[in-house]
Amino acid sequence: MHSVQGCRLSLADTSAKWLNTTSTAWISFGKQGNISCNATQGASDVLSIDKVDFLKLQNGRLFCFTVIFVVLLLLGLKNAITHGITAAGHDVLQFGLASTPAMFNSTLTEDAINHCPADGGIMITASHLPYNRNGFKFFTSDGGLNKTDIKDILERASKVYEESAHCGKQEQTGVVTHVDYMSIYASDLVQAVRKSAGNKEKPLEGLHIVVDAGNGAGGFFVDKVLKPLGAVTDGSQFLEPDGLFPNHIPNPEDKAAMEAITQAVLNNKADLGIIFDTDVDRSAAVDSSGRELNRNRLIALMSAIVLEEHPGTTVVTDSVTSDGLTAFIEKKLGGKHHRFKRGYKNVIDEAIRLNSTGEESHLAMETSGHGALKENHWLDDGAYTMVKLLNKLAGARTLNPNIGSKVLTDLVEGLEEAAVTVEIRLKIDQNHADLKGGSFRDYGESILKHLESVISKDPNLNKAPKNHEGVRVSGYGGWFMLRLSLHDPVLPLNIEAQSKNDAMKLGLAVLAAASEFSALDTTALNKFLQQ
């Protein structure tokens, strides 16, 4: 991290109601680093702030601010951060309600009238977590913060706090400017779709598209993107921000969320449905028949679009994508599938690394709905992902005005999908005597190593030749993968098979190997096998 003199920072927030009840409000300052805060501490914690060990607030790339700033309680997050930045002599651009991708884009946008690009940004958000889990996301034009950056910030914060005890009150010297940045960001999305349709003003005219924002920050997509393009948006739902999420969790992986957007499409006889997560860095879609375009299907769809534009390119995904997706990308589309670790930042960074070595990659996408494109600065932008789908629709409609979402569904024709797909979380009891005082991570690694040994002796099972995370095994017409969670004492087990009987055979193989480890709770796996 470098010190910055006289910089301009963009700040996005929302109304007091939004801040007090939800999860998304902001300030510009980083790209893909995630910083989360658990705001459940009591007042006594705040009063003892002089005893805080700042480095203990770090958790990987995350750190909690609950007990740091008493001023947060007095002024609110937005005003507190604004005060701190302007007191240090820097200008602040307040954006109001915004999305994660928009905050990053504010560091790239060339717009002198609106004081962009910003030098950096900070977003206050809890994403789809409960409203009391608000924290900060940092943005710069160079990328997000890593563990080293966070440690550096905490060390500096500790030093600044100690020094501030001996200083007088700082005068505000920075200037605060209110900017409607979401309109600027949305306008760029609109122009991208128009360009794909030969600069037609309303390329989506007559197309019925419904949006489910899940009471997150994605409601802007209706009025600022779809309507200017001519789309009919009747039936769009949950567009108003409400961090209590009264209708469903805004998460494209959530069953209730996908059922909600599917029903909206069918009820309104819409051509397409779009759903966003809270801060719009993830998304999914539903076609006119109610078929979900998420997880492996969405990756397949985006791969088809990107490989048309960049033949032979490598598509990087997380570790739990299906064998059917690999076959689809490589055999049907002529691309290359590079399966990597879970975690959208891992997937994106791997795509960037491959390009640096000379292996062309234009798409990095995780099954959760995080998708990033080389053409979009490797930003995981749910709105931009949907714009790529709209581009395809708009281009097709210039040739056939009556075409609907079938043009998208046809792109994933031939994708082999498992009849049974399940994820089972096996918890490690950290207090169990079998750990012998060791860490859950070491214990989990021991389980994985033992599983590999057992698999090597079973003629019905084959370990994947290339695997960057956990143990991935094919057999009985399907596959399973057991890996260690990034942060929690949990071993997630993913199983995909063409029948419940085959899935159970794979599950039994894991159970047999895991039975020797008494600190591993296999209750969930046993329940699946007994169904």
531: confidence class by pLDDT, cuts 50, 70, 90: confident
Are 341 and 206 contained in the same domain? yes
The verdict on residue 117 lying in a domain is yes
d(CA 42, CA 46): 7
Q: Which pLDDT tens digit goes with each residue over 409-451? A: 999 999 999 999 999 999 999 999 999 889 999 999 999 999 9
Which of 116-125, 131-140, 224-233, 489-498 has the lowest average pLDDT?
Answer: 131-140
Q: 133 falls in which pLDDT band (50, 70, 90)?
A: confident
Distance between CA 361 and CA 336 in Å, rounded? 9
Q: How far apart are CA 96 and CA 75, in angstroms?
A: 16
Could you tell me the CATH number of the domain that includes residue 444? 3.30.310.50
Query: Do strands 336-339 and 314-317 pair parallel, antiparallel, or not at all (unpaired)?
Result: parallel
In a domain, 3, yes or no: no
In a 13 Å sphere around the CA of 243, the CA atoms on its Cβ side amount to 24
Both tokens of residue 65?
């601010």
Do 466 and 398 share a domain, yes or no? no
pLDDT at 24 over 70: no
Q: Give yes or no for a contact between 395 and 388, defined as CB atoms under 8 angstroms apart.
A: no
| Domain-located, residue 389 | yes
Residue 150 lies in a domain: yes
Q: What is the rounded distance in angstroms from the CA atom of residue 521 to the CA atom of residue 28?
A: 43
pLDDT in tens, 437-447: 899 999 999 99
Q: Which two tokens stand for residue 517?
A: 């480890």
pLDDT tens by residue, 367-401? 999 999 999 999 999 999 999 999 999 999 989 98
pLDDT value of position 136: 79
Give the helix/strand (H/E) hosting 41.
none
CA torsion through residues 499, 505, 509, 512, sign: positive
pLDDT of residue 83: 83
Q: Are 243 and 133 in contact (CB under 8 A)?
A: no
Is residue 62 domain-shared with residue 153, that is, in the same domain?
yes
Q: Is the domain of 132 the same as that of 234?
A: no
pTM of the model: 0.87
Number of domains in the chain: 3
Distances in whole angstroms, Cα of residue 44 to Cα of each of 41, 70, 449: 8, 11, 45
**What is the mean predicted confidence (pLDDT) over 30-55?**
38
Name the CA dihedral angle for 115, 116, 118, 121, rounded to a multiple of 10 degrees: 100
CB atoms within 10 A of CB 393: 24
Domain that holds residue 315: 184-411
CA distances from 34 to 24, 185, 286 (A): 13, 21, 28
How many C-beta atoms surround the C-beta of residue 323 within 10 A? Answer: 18
What does 345-397 look like in DSSP terms, one character per residue? Answer: HHHHHHHHHHHHTT--EEEEE-TTSBEEEGGGTT-B-HHHHHHHHHHHHHHHH
Q: Are residues 440 and 521 in the same domain?
A: yes
pLDDT, average across residues 312-321: 97
Distance from C-alpha of 401 to C-alpha of 398, rounded to nearest angstrom: 6
Q: What percent of the chain has pLDDT over 70?
A: 84
Give the pLDDT confidence score for residue 39 in this predicted structure. Answer: 31
119 and 27 in one domain? yes
Q: What pLDDT is attached to residue 367?
A: 96
pLDDT at residue 84 in the model: 83
Cα torsion through 67, 73, 74, 77, rounded to 10: 100
Per-residue pLDDT, averaged over 264-274, amounts to 98
pLDDT per position as a tens digit, 283-311: 999 999 999 999 999 999 999 999 999 99
Question: 3-class SS at 58?
Answer: strand
Say whether both 203 and 283 belong to one domain: yes
* Average pLDDT over every residue of 265-290: 97
Q: Does 397 lie in the same domain as 367?
A: yes
- Per-residue pLDDT band at 95 (split at 50, 70, 90): very high
Q: Residue 168 — pLDDT band, cuts 50, 70, 90?
A: low
130, pLDDT greater than 90: no
| Beta-carbon-side half-sphere exposure of residue 49 (alpha carbons within 13 Å) | 16
Given a cut of 50, is residue 120 above it in pLDDT? yes
CATH code of 86's domain: 3.40.120.10
Angle among Cα 276, 277, 282 to the nearest 5 degrees reads 75
Mean pLDDT, range 354-371, rounded to an integer: 97
- pLDDT category of residue 165 using cuts at 50, 70 and 90: low
Q: Are 156 and 308 in contact (CB under 8 A)?
A: no
Q: What average pLDDT is seen over the chain? A: 86
The answer as to whether 2 is a domain residue is no
| Pairing mode of beta strands 420-428, 471-475 | unpaired
- pLDDT over 90 percentage in the chain: 69
Considering the domain architecture, whether residues 226 and 312 belong to the same structural domain is answered as yes
| pLDDT for position 79 | 82
Comparing 146-150, 194-198, 336-340, the range with the smallest average pLDDT is 146-150
Domain boundary among 353, 383, 411: 411
| Domain end position, chosen among 390, 411, 432 | 411
* 37 is a domain residue: yes
- Collapsing DSSP to helix, strand or coil, 17 comes out as helix
Cα separation, 93 vs 223, whole angstroms: 23
205 shares a domain with 323: yes
Taking Cα atoms as reference points, which of 96, 103, 43 lies closest to residue 67?
43
Q: Is 1 among the domain residues? A: no
Model pLDDT for residues 47-88, shown as the tens digit of each residue: 334 455 666 655 444 444 433 443 444 346 778 888 888 888
Q: Are 118 and 28 in contact (CB under 8 A)?
A: yes
What is each CA distance from 210 to 261, 264, 445, in whole angstroms? 8, 7, 45
CA torsion sign for 16, 19, 24, 26 is positive
Last residue of a domain, one of 179, 198, 214: 179
CA dihedral sign of residues 147, 65, 136, 95: negative
Phi–psi pair at 431, nearest 5 degrees? -95, 0
The secondary structure element, H or E, covering residue 134 is none
Euclidean distance between CA atoms 137 and 150, whole angstroms: 11
Statement to judge: residues 387 and 479 lie in one domain:
no
pLDDT of residue 72: 47
Calculate mean pLDDT across residues 157-182.
Answer: 79
For β-strands 176-178 and 91-94, DSSP reports them as parallel
Q: Is residue 158 part of a domain?
A: yes
Instruction: Note whether 85 and 114 are same-domain residues.
Output: yes
Question: What is the SS3 assignment for 180-199?
Answer: CHHHHHHHHHHHHHHHHCCC
Q: Where are the alpha helices (DSSP H) in 165-232?
A: 181-196, 220-221
pLDDT at 482 over 90: yes
Query: Would you tell me how many other CB atoms lie within 10 Å of the CB of residue 188?
Result: 14
Residue 495: what are its φ and ψ, rounded to 5°?
Answer: -130, 135
Residue type for position 425: R
